Amino acid sequence: MDWIETIVNGLLLGGLYGLFGLGLALVFGVMRVVNLAHGEFIVLAAYAGTMLAAMAPGVPPLLWVLPVAVAAFGVGYALQALLVNRAVRTGDPLTPLLLTFGLAVVLRNLMVETFGTDPRALDGGQFTRAGIDLFGLRIGLFPLTALAIAAVMFFALQWLLTRTEWGRIVRATSDNFRIVRLMGVEPNRVYNTVMGLALAFTAVAGMLLALRTSFTPYSGVERLLIAFEVVILGGLGSFWGAFAGGMALGVAQLLGQKIDSNAGSLYAHLLFFVVLILRPTGLAGRGR
C-alpha cells in the first residue's frame, strides 16, 4: 500500500512537472526557440503570487493564478515583440538561445537583489494541507488540484491548437512562416501570442510551485532542467508526450526518495538518461 501511495503521489507531482514543460514545448514547437529563461519565469511568477497574496491576506492564494497568468501573457507578448523576434530573424537557432540565456542571467540576479536569497513559500492555508481518503490511500487535496489544473491546461492547449482558427494559423506558421505571409498572416504577431500564452502557462506552473514548496531566485535553474527533461523525454514538440514524461519523472523521483532519502532527483535523472539513450527522440517522437 505504501508503494502504491508513493506512485500515486509521483503521478500527482508529475502533473506539475508536465506543466513546467508545457510552455517550453510550445515555444520550441512553434518557433524552434529554446527559451533558457523559462526557469526564471517560473520563479518570477512564484514571487509575483507571493507578493500579491501578502498584500491581500484574506483572499485564497490560488485565486491569484488568474491575474498573474494574464500579466505573464503581457510580459511574454512584449518580450517576443521587442527582443526575441529580432533574434529569430537571424535564422541561426543559436542567437535566440543565447539571447534568452542573457535574459535568464539578468532576471535571476535582479530577483536576487530584489527579494534576497532566503527561501520563500506561498502559504495556501488549510487547503494545501488537507487530504482525502481514496480506496484507503491518503491523497493530498492540493496535489490533486494541481494535477487537475495541469490536465485542463494540456487539454485547453491541445484544443486551441487543433480545433480553432488561431490554432490553424499557429500550426501553419510553424510549418512554414514564409508561405503563411502569402495568406495575410504576420508570423511575428503569431509568435508574440504564442510566447504570451507560453508564459501564461509557465506562470500557472510557478504559482503551483510556490504553493507546493519553498523557492529562491536560484530555483529557476533546477526547474529549467526539469522542464527540459519533461519536454525531451516526451519528444520535442509533443504535448501529450510531455505530460507522460512529467508523470514518469515524478514517479521516478518519489520512488527514488523512498529508496534513498537524499537523492530522489538522481533517479529521475537516471531514468531520463536511460530513456534518451534507448529512444533518442523521446517517448512520443517518431523513430529516425
Partner 1 sequence: MKPLGIAALLGYALLVAAAPTQLDAGWLRLGSEILLMLAMAQMWNLLAGYTGLVSFGHQAFIGVGAYLLFYVSDRFEIHPFLLAPAAGAACAVLAALIAPLLFRLRDAYFSVGIWVFAEIVYVLVSKTRELGATSGVALKSVRLVDTETFVRDTFWISTLIALLAVGGVHALMRSRLGLGQMAVRDNELAATSIGIDVWRNRFAAFVISAFGCGLAGATHFMGTMYVSPEAGFDVNWVVAMMFIVIIGGIGTIEGPILGTALYFALREGFTAWAGVSGSWYLVAMGLVAIVVMLVAPRGLWGWVHENRGWQGFPVRRVPPAPATEGADA
Bridge partner residues of 215 (DSSP): 120
232 part of the interface to partner 1, by CB under 8 A: yes
Helices (H), 36-133: 38-55, 65-79, 85-89, 94-115, 126-129
137 part of the interface to partner 1, by CB under 8 A: no
Of 63-71, 126-134, 180-188, 274-282, the window that binds partner 1 (rule: CB under 8 A) is: 274-282
Q: Which of 94, 132, 156, 179 binds partner 1 (CB under 8 A)?
A: 94
106 part of the interface to partner 1, by CB under 8 A: yes
- CB of 15 or CB of 235, closer to partner 1: 235
Give the whole-angstrom CA distance, residue 110 versus residue 248. Answer: 34
66 part of the interface to partner 1, by CB under 8 A: no
Q: Which residues contact 63 (CB under 8 A, 6 or more apart)?
A: none
User: φ, ψ for residue 155 (rounded to 5)?
Assistant: -60, -45
Q: Which of 66, 67, 92, 175 binds partner 1 (CB under 8 A)?
A: 92
Q: What grid cell was written down for 193?
A: 501570442
- CB of 159 or CB of 273, closer to partner 1: 273
Q: Cell 512584449 belongs to which residue? A: 78
Give the whole-angstrom CA distance, residue 255 versus residue 250. Answer: 9
Of 42-50, 64-72, 99-107, 172-180, the window that binds partner 1 (rule: CB under 8 A) is: 99-107
28 part of the interface to partner 1, by CB under 8 A: yes
Q: Cell 508503494 belongs to which residue? A: 3
Angstrom CA distances, 234 to 21, 149, 248, stand at 10, 19, 10
The secondary structure of residue 215, as a DSSP letter, is: B
CB 108 within 8 A of CB 40: yes
- CB of 229 or CB of 242, closer to partner 1: 229
CB 119 within 8 A of CB 215: yes
Give the whole-angstrom CA distance, residue 191 versus residue 31. Answer: 7
134 part of the interface to partner 1, by CB under 8 A: no
- CB of 124 or CB of 246, closer to partner 1: 246
Of 46-54, 83-91, 154-162, 191-199, the window that binds partner 1 (rule: CB under 8 A) is: 83-91
Of 15-23, 59-67, 95-103, 193-201, the window that binds partner 1 (rule: CB under 8 A) is: 95-103
34 part of the interface to partner 1, by CB under 8 A: yes
What is the identity of the amino acid at 122?
L
- CB of 40 or CB of 211, closer to partner 1: 40
95 part of the interface to partner 1, by CB under 8 A: yes
What is the binding site for partner 1 (CB under 8 A)?
Answer: 28, 34, 83, 86-87, 90, 92-95, 97-99, 101-110, 112-113, 221, 225, 228-229, 232, 236, 262-263, 265-266, 269-270, 272-273, 276-277, 280-281
